[in-house]
């Protein structure tokens, strides 16, 4: 009897989960990666070039008029935004950002967070991958 109840509960849960998973079959932009690609010395500062990639992991292209950005934060303070064009299904777009810091700063002491900021007109199906943090 107990096994029957568990099996029935699992079957009902699988039926109720299916429609929710299928509810969004559109575009799904996400930040796939951000990494330091280069470092140059500029006076008493180190300039770190970071490159990030946004990918549409969805099954549909984004609308041609969609506006979206990757916002860049340090300690909760917004430093900059990078515009990301509408992406076709499976398409990616690479952006760059330069961060300067003291030459005396230790390795791993700087943290930047990159947050995908789709504007209200976009259809973002993917909440996962909306943020990416890097320490350098």
Strand partners, 99: 48
Q: Quick check: 25 and 122 in contact, CB under 8 A?
A: no
Q: How many residues does the chain have?
A: 136
Across the beta sheet with 29-42, what order do the strands follow?
29-42, 45-56, 92-102
* CA atoms within 13 Å, Cβ hemisphere of 113: 11
Domain boundaries along the sequence of the chain: 27-119
Could you say which of 3.40.710.10, 2.60.40.10, 1.10.10.10, 3.40.50.2000 is the CATH number of the domain covering 27-119?
2.60.40.10
Q: What is the pLDDT of residues 6-54, one digit of tens each?
A: 344 433 343 433 333 445 678 889 999 999 999 999 988 999 999 999 9
Q: What is the pLDDT of residues 74-133, one digit of tens each?
A: 999 999 999 999 999 999 999 999 999 999 998 999 999 999 987 654 455 755 678 999
Q: Is 0.85 topped by the overall pTM?
A: no
Can you say whether the dihedral through the CA atoms of 114, 98, 65, 26 is positive or negative? Answer: negative
């Amino acid at each position: 009897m107990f096994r029957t109840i568990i099996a029935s509960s699992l079957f009902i849960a699988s039926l109720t989960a299916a429609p929710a998973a299928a509810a969004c079959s559109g575009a799904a932009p996400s930040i796939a990666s951000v990494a330091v690609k280069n470092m140059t010395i500029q006076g008493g500062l180190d300039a770190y070039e970071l490159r990030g990639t946004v990918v549409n992991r969805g099954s549909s292209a984004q609308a041609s008029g969609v506006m979206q950005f990757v916002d860049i934060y340090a300690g909760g303070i917004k430093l900059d935004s990078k515009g990301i064009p509408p992406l076709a299904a499976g398409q990616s777009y690479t952006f760059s950002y330069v961060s300067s810091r003291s030459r005396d700063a230790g390795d791993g002491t700087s943290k930047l967070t990159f947050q995908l900021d789709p504007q209200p007109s976009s259809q973002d199906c993917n909440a996962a991958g909306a943020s990416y943090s890097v320490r350098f």
